[in-house]
């Protein structure tokens, strides 16, 4: 049985491919960043924590997630 090291990335993501919304600007810390650098995957992370855990979505899951966000399903 192989062991799992949570500090080791399962896949490599190109640092240059991370994008943030233009409304965030350079100094805003309350944003998310999206990485479309891997075919068939959409990666999402917290902009404040560049080395934060990354959520991975298939394109279909990403579309569903964005639709839910826009509909306010995650609003508190």
Residue-level pLDDT, tens digit, the chain, 76 residues: 666 566 555 677 777 788 888 878 766 667 889 999 889 999 998 888 777 788 999 999 999 999 999 999 999 8
3-state secondary structure 4-70: CCCCCCCCCCCHHHEECCHHHCCCCCCCEEEECCCCCCEEEEECCCCCCCCEEECHHHHHHHHHHHH
CA-based nearest residue to 53, from 76, 71, 25, 33: 33
Length of the chain equals 76
């Amino acid at each position: 049985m192989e062991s799992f090291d949570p500090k080791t990335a399962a896949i490599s993501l190109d640092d240059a491919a991370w994008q943030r919304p233009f409304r965030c600007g350079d100094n805003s810390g309350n944003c998310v960043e999206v990485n479309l650098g891997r075919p068939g995957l959409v990666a999402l992370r917290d902009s404040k924590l560049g080395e934060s855990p990354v959520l991975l979505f298939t394109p279909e899951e990403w579309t569903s997630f964005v639709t839910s966000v826009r509909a306010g399903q995650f609003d508190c």
